[in-house]
Amino acid sequence: MESSASGDGPSATTAAVAAAAAVASSSSGPSTSASAFSAGVSGGASATHYLAKRVLHGSAVQHVARGHFRSEHLWEFVLCKGTSLELVVVGEDGVLQSICEQNTFGIVKDVGVLDWRFKHFGIWPEIEGKEILVLLSDSGKLSLLYFCCQMHRFIPIGNIELSKPGNMRDQLGRILAIDHDSAWVAISAYEDAFAVVRVGRTQHVYGPNKEIVEKAKIVHAVYKTSDIRGTVWSMCFMRTRCSMDEYYPVVAMIINRKGSDANDLSMYALAANDGGIQYLSGYSEPGPLALEIAEIPQLDGFGLLFRAGDILIVDLRDPKDICCTIRISMTGSLVGEQISVEDSCRGLDVDDDVAACALLELRDSGNNIMMDDSCMAIDGADNPRSMKSRVICSWSWEPDAMRGQPRLIFCLDDGEFHILEFNWDTEGLKVLPERVHRGLPCKPLLWMDRGMIAGFVEMGDGMILHLEHGRLVHRSTVQNVGPILDLAIADYHGEKQDQLFSCCGMCPEGSLRVIRNGVNVEKLLRTEPIYQGVTGLWTLRMKRTDTYHSFLVLAFVEETRILSVGLSFNDISDAVGFQPEVCTLACGLIADGLLVQIHSKGVKLCLPTSHAHPEGAALTSPVCVDWYPDVTISVGAVGHDVVAVATSNPCCLYILRVRPLSSLQYELYETQHVQLQYEVSCISIPEEDSRLRTSCSAFGGDFRKREGNNSAAEVDVRMFAVIGTHKPSVEVISLEPDEAFRSKKWHATQV
């Protein structure tokens, strides 16, 4: 799904410049950036070309999906932003934490999730326990993706060709729906056509030596029809009482027939006998304009028909005999009214002109926010005061709802949030409404786990809300800079680093923002809050010649953990061999393949296993050697073939080295030690390669003369250590075995 640059470089750039100039010239007001841009384009034959050094990805969220993409035990969420998608999780503090963000081929039109976690175990090991993300884009393909933890991104496992790339009205690729069993996907065009796709998967074919001969793949069958004769507004799968041997699956659709002023609810199904899509029945209730249809989870055969001003609960268990059971009115007064319930809405007399006006009415959303709170009524009595038909702009079902009690949260176009709780008992279906919040209208809306609600404003910042005691409490903000209506460039305090002042959004969500060039930080790992304070971090290589680090050592107050460094971070503490229940003071690579840990009780030499690193020892457990002093270690450092540690009370400095005893046996032994007058506060041993030399004159003092030359001789800087004391002083000492801690300028340098 990674996008690639296409088109001829100069021509594409010229077209982009011309398009940007056209936008700038159509600006309603003066703009410094627009005028400067137009002047640059008006150069005629000498066209100016631009190189994009940084790209600000779109931040407006159009589609959302939730699922278990990395693990079957973790809820995660996908935000679709035009030509990119972002995987996020929500923390306990209500802040969205980005896992990864990647580009896609084409603009994402709709998104869904296939729940294959508990199906076909052993068939496709890479995707077991994970849900599959389904993307519908203007590329003309239905893409199935799974999250690869090693690659840290979504990887396509199947692309189903539906139509040619583009946005033709009669080409499939506008809306998708997924059935409850995650076996069927419905895709509609803007008008006249839709299709149902049966999706499945094969398993790996293994050879006699358990090698993969043929990889698993996605299999599918597409059933199309172009006999709708109308515009598709919404659709969903419905579980009905129809026999699977007769009609399956069944799809409910909201369609505006050509030449009609109203929308009707139509039922289509795949006929088992001939494999064709057949029209079953239609339903049209007098009243407001029908907008969307949704299946009620856990209540097979019941659906919600969202209309302009109300919600109808329809019984679709018999798709050829559809009836309405409950009507929920959203045409309430601005000061509130008594809630009432009517079990049937047959024979409702509602003016169709009022419904049409409700869709066309233009109003200042800023004034709506300042209005007094209103409540939702279920078939309430007529109110002589100000009445207004309100439209649902977004909705979401509660994940993991209680059995038999599904709950729906929805947002009205005036910013009110309501929750509907459905209960089924011996007396039938009951609906309990509750208003929980009033704010900005959101689209889309997503009910997350742990009572978190994510609402994304079309032209403003989104928000994360938390459901507490029947009310939504604001927890955090999701930044959205789009749409950018105008911008100007200005130098930042003469630092020669320009920044953009941009006009974003519209009233009341409009804002003036500053955009600066920078480097994005990608969060790769976040541990649970189970550790008691971080005291140190180190990155280690397995060999000194390695280009990249292999280990990340985390020291906590009473614990040490080691993570592997790569496309993913895994805890490999047991395979490395470091003492886990102590706080690490220092660590490092003493020789290729040998790691050293220094803690308050001693020094530990470790040879990791191949589980920790491919070049480790082929053993079940690491090889470890310990060295313990008589007193507590306060500070230490690891260098090439040498370890320096200092103790307090008495203040001593020890030099340790390592020597091999056999192929996998090593000894850590003391070569020198000296008692100091002052306690050591820090130690540093240079780690430069032995080929890199430096002049001893850099230290100043009376150095050894070699070959009769009185000039400063070149020495190996790794044979020196710099120690700081609490005197305070800084001293440079030699680590050569025959030097016996000789100082090249032994008197302390005061700091």
119 versus 586: the higher-pLDDT residue is: 586
Residues whose CB falls within 8 Å of the CB of residue 325, separated by 6 or more in sequence, listed in order: 302, 313, 314, 315, 343, 344, 428, 429
515 versus 670: the higher-pLDDT residue is: 670
Helix axes 9-25, 32-41, angle to 10 degrees: 130
* Structure tokens belonging to residue 748: 């302390």
Angle at CA of residue 76, ends 75 and 79, nearest 5°: 150
Question: What value does the mean pLDDT take over residues 291-319?
Answer: 93
Report the pLDDT value the prediction gives residue 525, as an integer from 0 to 100.
66
- Give the whole-angstrom CA distance, residue 278 versus residue 267: 9
Report the pLDDT value the prediction gives residue 350, as an integer from 0 to 100.
40
Report the pLDDT value the prediction gives residue 348, as an integer from 0 to 100.
38
482 within 8 A of 504, measured Cβ to Cβ: yes
- Give the whole-angstrom CA distance, residue 556 versus residue 537: 9
Could you give the C-alpha distances from 353 to 84, 288, 361, 363, in angstroms and in order?
41, 8, 12, 18
Number of H helices, E strands in the chain: 5, 50
Could you give the C-alpha distances from 472 to 66, 79, 369, 693, in angstroms and in order?
20, 22, 16, 65
- Give the whole-angstrom CA distance, residue 588 versus residue 593: 11
Report the pLDDT value the prediction gives residue 527, as an integer from 0 to 100.
66
635 versus 696: the higher-pLDDT residue is: 635
Q: Which of 44-58, 261-275, 368-382, 583-597 has the lowest mean pLDDT?
A: 368-382
Beta strands in 389-470 (DSSP E): 392-397, 407-412, 416-425, 428-438, 445-447, 452-455, 462-468
138 within 8 A of 117, measured Cβ to Cβ: no
Report the pLDDT value the prediction gives residue 627, as an integer from 0 to 100.
95
60 within 8 A of 81, measured Cβ to Cβ: yes
Report the pLDDT value the prediction gives residue 606, as an integer from 0 to 100.
95
- Give the whole-angstrom CA distance, residue 59 versus residue 260: 38
- Give the whole-angstrom CA distance, residue 233 versus residue 728: 77
Report the pLDDT value the prediction gives residue 24, as an integer from 0 to 100.
39
For the cut 70, the answer to whether the pLDDT of residue 213 exceeds it is: yes
For the cut 60, the answer to whether the pLDDT of residue 379 exceeds it is: no
Q: Where are the alpha helices (H) located in 333-463, listed in sequence order?
A: 352-360, 365-370
pLDDT in tens, 487-532: 888 876 666 677 888 999 887 788 888 887 766 666 666 666 666 6
Largest pairwise CA distance in the chain: 115
Residue 52 pLDDT class (50, 70, 90 cuts): low
For 449, what's the count of Cα atoms within 13 Å in the CB-facing half-sphere?
15
Report the pLDDT value the prediction gives residue 312, as an integer from 0 to 100.
94
Report the pLDDT value the prediction gives residue 318, as an integer from 0 to 100.
92
DSSP-based three-state secondary structure for 715? strand
The values of phi and psi at residue 481, to 5°, are: -90, -10
Residue 149 pLDDT class (50, 70, 90 cuts): confident
pLDDT in tens, 55-72: 777 889 999 999 999 988
Phi-psi region of 547 (alpha: psi -120 to 50; beta: other; left: phi over 0): alpha
- Give the whole-angstrom CA distance, residue 29 versus residue 488: 13
Query: What's the predicted TM-score (pTM) here?
Result: 0.67
What are the residues facing 689 on neighbouring strands? Answer: none
For the cut 60, the answer to whether the pLDDT of residue 659 exceeds it is: yes
Report the pLDDT value the prediction gives residue 495, as an integer from 0 to 100.
67
Q: Where are the domains of the chain?
A: 484-515, 536-688+719-734
Q: Match 């079940």 to its residue by tokens.
A: 620
Residue 99: how many other CB atoms lie within 10 Å: 21
- Give the whole-angstrom CA distance, residue 550 versus residue 547: 10
Q: Which of 363-377, 404-418, 479-493 has the lowest mean pLDDT?
A: 363-377
* CATH superfamily for domain 536-688+719-734: YVTN repeat-like/Quinoprotein amine dehydrogenase (2.130.10.10)
- Give the whole-angstrom CA distance, residue 253 versus residue 38: 48
- Give the whole-angstrom CA distance, residue 586 versus residue 656: 14
Question: What value does the mean pLDDT take over residues 306-315?
Answer: 93
Please provide the average confidence, as pLDDT, over all residues in the chain.
Answer: 80
* One-letter-per-residue 3-state SS of 479-501: CCCCCEEEEEEEECCCCCCEEEE
Report the pLDDT value the prediction gives residue 120, as an integer from 0 to 100.
64
Residue 232: how many other CB atoms lie within 10 Å: 21
Q: Would you say how long the chain is, in residues?
A: 751
- Give the whole-angstrom CA distance, residue 276 versus residue 30: 59
474 versus 49: the higher-pLDDT residue is: 474
pLDDT in tens, 571-585: 899 999 999 999 999
- Give the whole-angstrom CA distance, residue 193 versus residue 188: 6
DSSP secondary-structure letter at 262?
Answer: S
694-695 and 680-684 strand pairing? unpaired
What are the residues facing 515 on neighbouring strands? Answer: 500
CA 351 to chain CA centroid, nearest Å: 46
117 within 8 A of 129, measured Cβ to Cβ: yes
- Give the whole-angstrom CA distance, residue 68 versus residue 686: 47
What are the residues facing 477 on neighbouring strands? Answer: 463
Residue type, 568: S
Residue 245 pLDDT class (50, 70, 90 cuts): confident
Question: What value does the mean pLDDT take over residues 289-311?
Answer: 93
Q: What is the DSSP string of 310-358?
A: EEEEEE-SSTTS-EEEEEEE---BTT-------S--TT----HHHHHHH
267 versus 212: the higher-pLDDT residue is: 267
Report the pLDDT value the prediction gives residue 151, as an integer from 0 to 100.
85
Question: What value does the mean pLDDT take over residues 468-487?
Answer: 91
Residue 404 pLDDT class (50, 70, 90 cuts): confident
Handedness of CA 663, 665, 671, 675 (dihedral sign): positive
Rg for the chain, CA atoms, rounded: 34
392 within 8 A of 291, measured Cβ to Cβ: yes
For the cut 90, the answer to whether the pLDDT of residue 202 exceeds it is: no
In percent, how much of the chain has pLDDT > 90?
46
What distance, in Å, lies between the first and last C-alpha atoms of the chain?
58
Angle at CA of residue 494, ends 490 and 496, nearest 5°: 75
* Structure tokens belonging to residue 256: 């505006």
194 within 8 A of 227, measured Cβ to Cβ: no
Question: What value does the mean pLDDT take over residues 406-410?
Answer: 95
Report the pLDDT value the prediction gives residue 418, as an integer from 0 to 100.
94
